[in-house]
C-alpha cells in the first residue's frame, strides 16, 4: 500500500502501524543492529508508481525500514515523500543484475552500486527476518 507521508496524517500512521507494526524501540533497534538502510538509487518502478517519480534527469532515492511485521520502502521525489508498506508474507526480492522488491504486482528496482554494497548486511538481515516471520505460515 502506498502512502504520501509528506505531511503528518494520523489516519495514514494508523494504517501503516496496523499493516507492519509499530516502529521498533531503541533497544530493539540496538538488538538487531539497526532498522534502516542507507539510501539507494531507484533504477526503475512499476507502472503504478511512475506517477510519483521524476521522469526528468533527477536521481530518485529510496531507503528501507524494518518493522516487526514487514518493511517500509521510502521514496523521495523532490519535496514529496512516499512510503510503500509491505508485510513480510508479501515480499519477493530479486537480487541479480539489480536489486528489486516486488509485492502485489508492484515493484521498485534499485541500482547495484557502492550504495548497494553498503546495504548488503541490512538486506541479509531483512531477508532473515522475513524467513523467521513467515515460517509460522508454513508450519
Q: 74-98, pLDDT tens digit by residue?
A: 998 878 899 999 999 999 999 888 8
Separation of alpha carbons 54 and 70, rounded Å = 27
pTM of the model: 0.89
Q: Quick check: is 139 in a domain?
A: no
Q: Does residue 24 lie in a domain region?
A: yes
> Does the residue 17 lie in any domain?
yes
Kindly state the average pLDDT of the residues 41-65.
83
Confirm whether 26 is domain-assigned. Answer: yes
Residues 97-134 pLDDT 10s: 889 999 999 999 999 988 888 888 999 999 999 998 88
Decide: 74 and 39 in contact? Cβ < 8 Å: no
Range of the domain at 27: 2-134
What is the CATH number for 67? 2.30.29
Confidence of residue 55 (pLDDT cuts 50, 70, 90): low
Q: Would residue 73 count as lying in a domain?
A: yes
Instruction: Provide the mean pLDDT of the chain.
Output: 88
Q: From CA 129, how far away is CA 32, in angstroms rounded?
A: 10
Q: Tell me, what's the pLDDT at 90? A: 92
Q: How many domains does the chain have?
A: 1
Amino acid at each position: 500500500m502506498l502512502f504520501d507521508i509528506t505531511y503528518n496524517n494520523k489516519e495514514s500512521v494508523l494504517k501503516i502501524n496496523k499493516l507492519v507494526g509499530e516502529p521498533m524501540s531503541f533497544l530493539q533497534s540496538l538488538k538487531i543492529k539497526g532498522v534502516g538502510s542507507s539510501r539507494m538509487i531507484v533504477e526503475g518502478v512499476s507502472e503504478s508508481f511512475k506517477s510519483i517519480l521524476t521522469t526528468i534527469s533527477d536521481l530518485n532515492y529510496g531507503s528501507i525500514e524494518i518493522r516487526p511485521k514487514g518493511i517500509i520502502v521510502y521514496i523521495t521525489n523532490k519535496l514529496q515523500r512516499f512510503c510503500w508498506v509491505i508485510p513480510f508474507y508479501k515480499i519477493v526480492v530479486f537480487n541479480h543484475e539489480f536489486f528489486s522488491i516486488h509485492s502485489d504486482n508492484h515493484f521498485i528496482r534499485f541500482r547495484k552500486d557502492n550504495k548497494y554494497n553498503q546495504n548488503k548486511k541490512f538486506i541479509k538481515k531483512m531477508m532473515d527476518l522475513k524467513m523467521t516471520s513467515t515460517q509460522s505460515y508454513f508450519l
